[in-house]
Structure 1
Amino acid sequence: MRLAVLSDIHGNLAALEAVIADFRARGVERALDLGDLLSGPLQARETADRLIGLGWPTIAGNHERQVLNDPPERMSASDRHAAGELRADQRDWLRSLPPSLRLDDEVLLVHGTPASDLECFLETVDAGGMRAASAAEVARRAGADPARLILCGHTHVPRAVRLDDGRLIVNPGSVGLQAYAGEHPHPHRVENGTPQARYAIVERDARGWHAQLLQVDYDWGAAAALARRNGREDWARALLTGRV
């Protein structure tokens, strides 16, 4: 079994199309989406239509919850932009997305961790910023879940960690945004350092699950220009450089 795993598209339709073309060229037809689909100053409405048409197994991230439930005055600029673009039918689709999803008792999809769409799985954020989580921290967050493959997103950092019991935890990174400044639970920065779209291909063979973390070129200059036209110079820089 081979699956493409995508997360954190954030309305970057050009990056999404490049990733789709890449995994199809590699002979992969099935894809999974881990949420944070639309929030950002790019193409929320168009990205929603594309994802609805694809019909992939998809879960909601924290930004879906925020776009649907937060009052405008509490929303971030990225959430407000997306909320202002969405049609009623697109909002209904977002409401239909589960916060987690289990496939065949083998694969678990979460956005953050099984406990929270805001908690980092493979990273830890403390007063010093963000760092790679220890094996003990990752194991604690995985708990006793029986899934042999746990897929997570949220941090935009591509990483795979195998636990001592053989379970594999994979974050495919972000399709749509390679750097940002976060505030929860402490101020921190995420910087992947290059602008390529990220995703993963996971495969199960006789030895178990394995992951390939991939980067894909796309027209990030055009995406940055759109962000700039929509008043987001911070996004433009992140899209162009992978840095805050």
Structure 2
Amino acid sequence: MRWALITDIHANLQAFEAVLADARAQGATRYALLGDFVGYGADPAAVLAQVMALAADGAIAVQGNHDEAVALGSRPGMHPDARAVIDWTRAQLDEDQLRFLARLPLQAHGEPGNCLFVHANAFEPDGWAYVQGRAEAVKSLHASPARIQVCGHMHEPMLFHLSGTGKAGEFRPVAGVPMPLPGHRQWLAIPGSCGQPRDGNPAACYALLDPARSDLDDARISFRRVAYDVEAACAALRASELPPLIADRLARRLTLGE
């Protein structure tokens, strides 16, 4: 059983479809979708249609902060651009899609039961605090007995570990290089953003996880980068009614990796 770990799609249909195609080519049979399906991007309805189809077929899907914001609707006092994005995104979605976003769980356990999937962190899933470094990673690992946690929210790939003696470490993964996850440690993996990577590389991020088949085996993870039609994503942003400042910023980040 091979899991595709996909997060922070942010309504980028071109990136999502490229990642799904790569995951299928790599033999993925299960999917964990870690939230922020909407927000920022030009194709929230099309992305959500695919997310919902995967969930209906058994994929795990959890709620991200952008999903929550769109499900609840904009509020007075929000920054005008943020409010405009939420209002525009809601207008693209039908009632079933809004209901799907509102009912998403904050966290879920995978098969086998030693994996925890959550958007932001395990210590306060609805607080949306970022795992920015080792301190937050250890706090998240202490909050759950799961041997492997997978989080989104941070848009750059990272891998953290915690030993039974409390010694923590971290890796900045190299794309395409499989890494063992020995069972004597806890692990926290951040696949990076599918639709909005922010590490200077515009290629879409995701990861593949092969769970341990027994107590004698190690799980394995491989972080992936997938090239996609960036120009088409930028064109979709320009053609949308999103605030020009946001569309310009997102297009610049996609093309330049800012």
Q: 1:159 to 1:87 in 2, by over 3 A?
A: same
RMSD: 1.7
CA distance in 2, matches of 1:195, 1:4: 19
What is residue 66 of structure 2 aligned with on the other side?
A: 63
What is residue 93 of structure 2 aligned with on the other side?
A: 86
Letter in 2 for 1:112: A
| Correspondence 1:213 to 2:223 | yes
| Deviation, structure 1 residue 216 | 0.2
Does structure 2 conserve the Cα–Cα contact (< 8 Å) formed by 1:168 and 1:210? Answer: no
Specify which of 192, 208, 212 is matched with residue 173 of structure 1. Answer: 192
CA distance in 2, matches of 1:39, 1:107: 27
What is residue 111 of structure 1 aligned with on the other side?
A: 119
Letter in 2 for 1:43: D
What is residue 139 of structure 1 aligned with on the other side?
A: 138
| Deviation, structure 1 residue 72 | 5.0
Does structure 1 conserve the Cα–Cα contact (< 8 Å) formed by 2:141 and 2:162? Answer: no
CA distance in 2, matches of 1:54, 1:105: 20
Q: 1:149 to 1:236 in 2, by over 3 A?
A: same
CA distance in 1, matches of 2:87, 2:162: 39
Give % identity. Answer: 31
Letter in 2 for 1:210: R
TM-score normalised by the chain length of structure 2: 0.80
CA distance in 1, matches of 2:11, 2:88: 10
Q: 1:45 to 1:137 in 2, by over 3 A?
A: closer
Once the two structures are superposed, the pairs formed by residues 24-39 of structure 1 within 5 Å of their partners are 24-39=24-39
CA distance in 1, matches of 2:206, 2:47: 17
| Deviation, structure 1 residue 208 | 2.8
TM-score normalised by the chain length of structure 1: 0.84
| Deviation, structure 1 residue 27 | 1.1
Once the two structures are superposed, the pairs formed by residues 169-208 of structure 1 within 5 Å of their partners are 169-178=188-197, 191-205=198-212, 206-208=216-218
CA distance in 1, matches of 2:27, 2:121: 30
CA distance in 1, matches of 2:38, 2:53: 15
Specify which of 214, 234, 247 is matched with residue 224 of structure 1. Answer: 234
What is residue 161 of structure 2 aligned with on the other side?
A: 162
| Deviation, structure 1 residue 154 | 0.3
1:9-46 deviations in whole A, cap 9, x for unaligned?
Answer: 01111111111110111111211100000112310111
Letter in 2 for 1:62: N
**Which stretch has the larger CA shift, 100-109 or 75-84?**
75-84
Equivalent position SS for 1:170: strand
CA distance in 1, matches of 2:99, 2:196: 25
Equivalent position SS for 2:3: strand
Query: Unpaired runs of 5+ in structure 1?
Result: 124-132, 179-190
Letter in 1 for 2:106: P
Does structure 1 conserve the Cα–Cα contact (< 8 Å) formed by 2:62 and 2:105? Answer: yes
What is residue 174 of structure 2 aligned with on the other side?
A: none
Q: 1:80 to 1:239 in 2, by over 3 A?
A: farther
Equivalent position SS for 1:60: coil
- The structure whose Rg is larger is 2
CA distance in 1, matches of 2:6, 2:85: 20
Does structure 2 conserve the Cα–Cα contact (< 8 Å) formed by 1:149 and 1:209? Answer: no
1:96-119 deviations in whole A, cap 9, x for unaligned?
Answer: 210111124311111111213411
